[in-house]
Amino acid sequence: MADYARVEMQQTTTVQSEDSGVIAFRPDNPGLISVVAVPDKTKTQTEENFLAQLDLFKPGSAKAVASYKAPMGSAHLGVSYTATAADMAVAGNWTCRLTNGTLVPLTFSTTIAYISTYPLQTASFDIALLQTLLTQIVSDAQLRLHLQSSASKDDVRSRISWSPSVATMLGASAHDFHLDDINYDTNEISSLLPDLDILPNPLVFEYAFETGVLAAPTFDRAQVAFVMTLPFGPTVIQCADPTTLEIDVASLQVTVTVGLDGRLSATCQAKAEANYHGVGVKDLSGAIQDAVASAAGGGIPPAVLFQYFERFFVSLMRLNDTPPPSRFGLGSQQPFHGQAHVASYSVSGDALVVSFYTVPQPVVVVAHQ
């Protein structure tokens, strides 16, 4: 019989101004789930007139089952929810989202308590070795990124792809996603376009960028995330409408931050200019940066990334409760004793700490003839 355990999971999360952070966890049984977050500041500047907000989500749901919006001066935020058996039938991670309503970064010390069948275990891995192995793994995985915009969300043209052997592991040869075209307000350049009257507003630009094989990411201890810089070559973005207006992108570099919890964000440095009949008319670096960063940061759902990382660390750190294979005289490998699931990641000194729990496999009774 499994031991039912009340699990307390603690995590420290820094959330930037007017931004959000997500903590994932996985209860195994119905029962009370409670989340308490303590911010490091209770009174500071705000434009939104609240300190912070805490939302609790079931797996795969965008609607919070419990929320609390803390006014300025609150010492803590708390929500609770009693998970039902029906809730537990949906597999996956639960998440709590912390939103910073102030104009300064806030650091939350969060305690999540829930019913888990099995107690959490921890394992640690040296970050320097992880970084060394990452160089190899990313090279072996042959990761490539193709960004291509389109007008309709149903027209999916962007893709992150990987090697055939990774495809075999993940069960997918690529992840496809949609990026919006750049829409540009004609009025901003009206004085420079003599045929403005016949042009639609906004002007629509389709863009496409492609990387070579991605370079090795670096591990960011503070964010518990991999950071990867993607340089793209110079390119020209044609306006979709019949005009000689085009955007000349002299340089473009996207920095993608992939949290081990699945969060994906991106920043972009670009040098771009609108050209009309070959003459530069307006610096569009900011517009390109915003569009690409927004697009690249929304490419892959957090749950998908979380599962990829979970699979990787379960394998690398031998987290499954698996007996040694091929005991002499027994022939082939024995089945799992237990499948590991990652609850959270954190950094302690020079080590990545993985909190995980192991779900034993059901015992299979073989009927003897």
Question: Where do contacts with other proteins occur on this chain (CB under 8 A)?
Answer: 123-126, 128-129, 132-133, 136-137, 139-142, 144, 146, 148, 157, 159, 161, 163-166, 168-169, 208, 210, 212, 311-312, 314-330, 332-333, 335-336, 350-352
As measured in angstroms, the least distance from the Cβ of 12 to other proteins is 19
Of 280 and 325, the one with the shorter C-beta distance to other proteins is 325
Q: Is 31 exposed, middle or buried (0-12, 13-18, 19+ CB in 10 A)?
A: middle
Residue whose C-alpha is closest to residue 159's, from 150, 287, 151, 215? 150
Our CB check for other proteins shows the closer of 36 and 208 to be 208
DSSP 111-165: EEEEEESS--EEEEEEHHHHHHHHHHHHHHHT-EEEEE-BSSTT---EEEE--HH
* Least distance (Å) between residue 325 CB and other proteins: 5
The distance of Cα 55 from the centroid of its chain, to the nearest Å, equals: 18
Rounded to whole angstroms, how far apart are CA atoms 226 and 157? 25
Smallest distance, other proteins to C-beta of residue 122, A: 9
Give, in order, the Cα–Cα distances in Å from 166 to each of 261, 264, 359: 20, 20, 25
As beta bridge partners, residue 144 has 161
Nearer to other proteins, 104 or 213 (CB): 213
Give phi and psi for 158, each to the nearest 5.
Answer: -90, 155
Contact 264, 217 (CB under 8 A): no
Residue with smaller CB distance to other proteins, 164 or 194: 164
Give whichever of 51 and 347 is closer to other proteins, judged by the CB atom.
347
Contact (CB, 8 A) for 114 and 7: yes
How many Å apart are CA 79 and CA 59, to the nearest integer?
A: 17
User: Six-digit token pair at 350?
Assistant: 């020079």
Q: How far is the CB of 228 from other proteins (least distance, A)?
A: 17
Asked whether the beta carbons of 11 and 23 are under 8 A apart, the reply is yes
Q: Which is nearer to other proteins, 126 or 283 (CB)?
A: 126
Q: Which C-beta is closer to other proteins: that of 43 or that of 318?
A: 318
**What is the distance between the alpha carbons of residues 311 and 319, in angstroms, rounded to a whole number?**
10
Minimal distance, residue 206 CB to other proteins, in Å = 10
Q: Smallest distance, Å, CB 326 to other proteins?
A: 5
- The CB-of-104 to other proteins minimum distance in angstroms stands at 33
In the bound complex, what is the minimum distance in angstroms from residue 227's beta carbon to other proteins? 20
Nearer of residues 197 and 328 to other proteins, judged by Cβ: 328
Residue linked to tokens 């075209």: 181
Q: Which is nearer to other proteins, 163 or 294 (CB)?
A: 163
Q: How far is the CB of 314 from other proteins (least distance, A)?
A: 8
Kind plus residue range of the DSSP H or E element containing 287: helix 285-297
Nearer to other proteins, 37 or 359 (CB): 359
b/e sequence 69-91, b meaning 16+ C-beta within 10 Å = bbebebebbebebebeeebbeee
Work out how close the CB of 231 gets to other proteins at its nearest, in angstroms, rounded to a whole number: 14
As a whole number of angstroms, the distance between CA 305 and CA 312 comes to: 11
